[in-house]
Amino acid sequence: MNSFMKLFASLFLFVFSSLLFGDIDVVESSNKNLRFSGRNKLFVFGDSYADTGNTKTTDKGAWAFPYGITYPGKPSGRFSDGHISTDFLAQLLRIKLPVTYSKKDGVDKTRLQYGMSFAYGGTGVFDTKVNYPNMTGQINLFEQLLGNVYSPSDLSSSIALVSVAGNDYLYFLSTRSLNVILPFIKQVVNQIEVNLRRIHTLGIKKIAVPSLQPLGDIPHFANGSPLIKAAVNLLVAYHNDLLHKVVVKLNNETNHSAFAILDYNNAFLTVINNKGETPDILVFETPSIECFKVDVDEVKNSTLCDDPRSAFFWDGLHPTQEGWKSVYTVLRKNITAALMSKA
């Protein structure tokens, strides 16, 4: 315990000093009276927070009951009981839901005009334990469609969602020690910068990257050691501080607000801590208790809550449909200002 306390103290001092003495920058635009920009395509890169059905149907998890029990009433490849972040972002932007890359050859070609999702559940910025393309690989898939499926004019009226929900860190911590994670966080954010720059260079004019949600408050960590929870959230704060600096840097380079952070961290905490003071969102009585408790050793012993709408988290990592709805209710003004204005 003494060694862990020393590690916790050193993490706290490192992250706190970075936040305290680092530059404080405004990332999103504050323009008022914005109108819909006419953007009509959404391209999605990332992980299970954004994947609407790219993983193989033979995989367990998102393609197995009770996933999809709220929408569409059966498993759809979404890592939740229903709609997830991509669904709610498309709705807010008034863009039809993009087709998934894995299904692109089996749909009417008119569906392709709304964009495409390259997000695969379980993936990260770098390789993780799943056998799906990491973010670099996903951008490669996107690039292969340019000039054939999508033209430069298509991309000029498009938006990209770049989801990084922490799989790199969860995989890292499953194989290595917490006390060597700080340099790895820098590597992850540096690669995010490379990815954002590349997506913009390929022609997408508006790019949204969510901040990292408070991982210490997901059921996977929240219901364990308070010290572990606090340490994880300090690491999240470090990641988000680096990410904000990257976005400011990229916007300065492009001379306009092409890049925007969707503040998942604040939105998650607003919902989790809401006791009724935020009237537009539900009060979740036990926000860090998941609806679907998965017993990985004996699946038949897994338990499901009576009403997924009463839970913020669906499983140990992912919000419910109602949870995502609340998050995007908090984010609505942020999204309107940052993504629906013209670049």
Q: Which residues are catalytic?
A: 48, 315, 318
Give the dihedral sign, CA 307/330/51/286. negative
Tell me the β-bridge partners of 338.
none
Q: How many Å apart are CA 172 and CA 183, to the nearest integer?
A: 12
Give the dihedral sign, CA 241/247/252/256. negative
Q: How many Å apart are CA 94 and CA 53, to the nearest integer?
A: 21
Q: How many Å apart are CA 266 and CA 212, to the nearest integer?
A: 9
HEC readout, 135-177: HHHHHHHHHHCECCCECHHHHHCEEEEECCCCHHHHHHHHHCC
* Cα dihedral value 65, 80, 297, 304, nearest 10: -70
Per DSSP, the three-state class of 207 is strand
Helices 85-93 and 321-339: crossing angle in degrees, nearest 10, is 40
Task: Transcribe 239-273 into DSSP letters.
Answer: HHHHHHHHHHHHHHHHTS--EEEE-HHHHHHHHHT
Query: Which phi and psi angles does 287 have, rounded to 5°?
Result: -65, -25
User: What are the counts of helices (DSSP H) followed by strands (DSSP E) for the chain?
Assistant: 10, 8
Residue 46 gets the label, from left (phi > 0), alpha (psi -120 to 50) or beta, of: left
Tell me the β-bridge partners of 206.
159
Q: How many CA atoms are closer than 13 Å to the CA of 298, on its beta-carbon side? A: 3
Residues 6+ apart with CB under 8 A from 236: 166, 212, 213, 214, 215, 216, 265
